[in-house]
Amino acid sequence: MAWRESSLMQVVWTVIRVYVGWEWLTAGFGKVFGPGSASWVGPQAGGAVSGFLKGALGKTSGQHPDVQPWYGWFIQNVAMPNATLFGYMVAWGELLVGAALILGFLTTIALLAGIIMNMSYLLSGAISTNPILLFWQAVLLWAGAAAYFWGVDRAFLPRWKRWRLGHGEG
């Protein structure tokens, strides 16, 4: 057994996983249920994302822009025309990633989704806690199964694999 899979490290990974999950959960909860939720998932859905994206587009100029031109093209041509969809994806994505990480359920998928969101925010020029969360999510991916030893996946994944193998045979 590698040191990263030791009993002590399983506890450390769990604490880090729950911390990262809490950060995502609270961010998503505010967007889905908080006072400003109407501009994320309510009647004005897409308004908050549009404001964020317009700010990102303003960072695409200069000799060393915070937002690279290729990502500016993505924002202008893909994200902005679909701001309502992106509003729902961001709000519910943050909430679901947070809940999954706290529970240790579909942990690897949740970590990958979190990494994609953090990279999207960073590419849009938003620093905030994104580098910190990105770092810890990468570390948790590296930790492998030890990251969800204390979580739902410990019981769920073996059953899922057995079920898939049992139904995969004809």
- The domains of the chain are located at 8-168
Q: State the CB neighbour count (10 A cutoff) for residue 72.
A: 21
pLDDT tens per residue, range 31-48: 999 998 999 999 999 999
Splitting the chain (170 residues) into consecutive groups of 10 residues, what average pLDDT does each group show? 84 97 97 94 94 96 93 97 97 98 97 98 95 98 93 88 69
pLDDT of residue 165: 77
Q: Under DSSP, is residue 58 helix (H, G, I), strand (E, B) or coil?
A: coil
**Residue 101: HSE in the Cβ half-sphere, 13 Å Cα cutoff:** 31
Structure-block tokens of residue 137: 């999510």
Structure-block tokens of residue 9: 């490290």
Average pLDDT over the chain, rounded to whole? 93
